[in-house]
Amino acid sequence: MLKTIGAKVWAIPGGHMPLLSSGAEPRDTSRDELCVLNAGHLDAHLQLTIYYEDHEPVGPYPLKVAAQRVRHVRFNDLIDPQALPLDTPYAVLVVADHPVVVQFTRRDTSQAANAIATTLAYPG
């Protein structure tokens, strides 16, 4: 029997999507990305809330991850209830109805020498 892995609450405090990109779009667009693993046997329904330095939080952004699947979502693609602004610091709180594992990735293509960074989110 597989032990339940993950948590229901995750925090990512260091969001920031660069304003500029180089290379072909959408492949080389600068972006922040969320990767969610749902190793459980039930679909997971997530609510993302975005926090900013200078105004009220925005959300929820609903997200579904099927049972025993992984899902990648670009923060650039979150548009409802509001598109995330580029070149603006933000944080995200992820709340799920079943345990999941959350990874955060940034791809910065603002210069010809691309940079990528990945980390696990903080489980609450």
Predicted pLDDT at 112 = 64
Pairing of strands 122-123, 115-120: unpaired
Encode pLDDT of 70-96 as tens digits.
999 989 899 999 999 888 999 999 999
Is the pTM of the predicted complex or chain greater than 0.75?
yes
Upper half-sphere CA count for residue 54 (Cβ side, 13 Å): 3
Q: For the chain, give percent helix, strand, coil, nearest 5.
A: 0, 55, 45
> What number is the average pLDDT over the span 37-55?
96
Cα 59 to Cα 2, 13, 78, 91, 117: the distances in Å are 33, 16, 10, 12, 25
Does 97 have pLDDT greater than 70? yes
CA dist 67 and 50 (Å) reads 25
